């Protein structure tokens, strides 16, 4: 897979807007209120979302824990992917998320309960894979609830 050069990124993100699809989930506390707060913060950074899926309840995946509420929001932005990731992490932190990613000896991710989780699913036609960020999100295929939620908000579906 070929990644865009720094000059290409500048041209892409200074000239065109792209659809950004974010998954927002919560499995502790006032779950729906947590999602609405995260959306409010996201709206402050990216402008109001263009589309929002329904909010669905799903079982915790990869660990034993309370059920999650999840949704997908579509924004239109020209911000760089790394900036978007920083915004998502800052929102999680502001809302009280304190855990850092942990990994088992086999390299698999160890998951925990989360007051809020904001993941970048898709961003325009961008494909990238860095140690910090992979787009499209690598677990879109593994989380059975994501595709139906994406289908509710994607253009040209």
CB atoms within 10 A of CB 73: 25
Residue 95 lies in a domain: yes
Instruction: Name the pLDDT band for 157 (thresholds 50, 70, 90).
Output: very low
Instruction: Name the pLDDT band for 65 (thresholds 50, 70, 90).
Output: very high
Residue 91 lies in a domain: yes
Residue 86 lies in a domain: yes
Residue 32 lies in a domain: yes
Residue 67 lies in a domain: yes
CATH number of 21's domain: 3.30.70.560
Residue 63 lies in a domain: yes
Instruction: Name the pLDDT band for 142 (thresholds 50, 70, 90).
Output: confident
Q: Does residue 7 have a pLDDT over 90? A: no
pLDDT tens figures, 70-89: 999 999 999 999 999 999 99
Task: Compute the mean pLDDT over every residue in the chain, rounded to the nearest whole number.
Answer: 88
Q: Does residue 139 have a pLDDT over 90? A: no
Give the domain range for residue 147. Answer: 6-153
Residue 1 lies in a domain: no
pLDDT tens figures, 100-126: 777 778 877 777 888 999 999 999 998
Report the number of distinct structural domains present in the chain: 1
Half-sphere exposure of 102 (CA within 13 A, CB side): 9
Residue 57 lies in a domain: yes
């Amino acid at each position: 897979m070929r990644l865009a050069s720094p000059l290409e990124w500048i041209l892409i993100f200074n000239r065109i807007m792209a659809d950004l699809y974010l998954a927002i989930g919560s499995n502790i506390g006032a779950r729906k209120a947590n999602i609405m707060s995260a959306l409010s913060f996201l709206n402050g950074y990216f402008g109001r979302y263009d589309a929002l899926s329904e909010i669905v309840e799903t079982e915790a995946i990869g660990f034993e824990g309370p059920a999650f509420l999840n949704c997908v929001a579509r924004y239109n932005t020209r911000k760089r992917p790394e900036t978007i990731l920083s915004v998502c992490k800052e929102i999680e932190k502001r809302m009280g998320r304190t855990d850092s990613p942990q990994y088992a000896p086999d390299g698999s991710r160890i998951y925990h309960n989360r007051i809020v989780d904001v993941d970048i699913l898709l961003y325009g036609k961008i494909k990238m894979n860095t140690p910090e960020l992979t787009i499209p999100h690598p677990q879109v295929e593994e989380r059975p609830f994501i595709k139906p939620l994406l289908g509710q908000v994607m253009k040209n579906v």
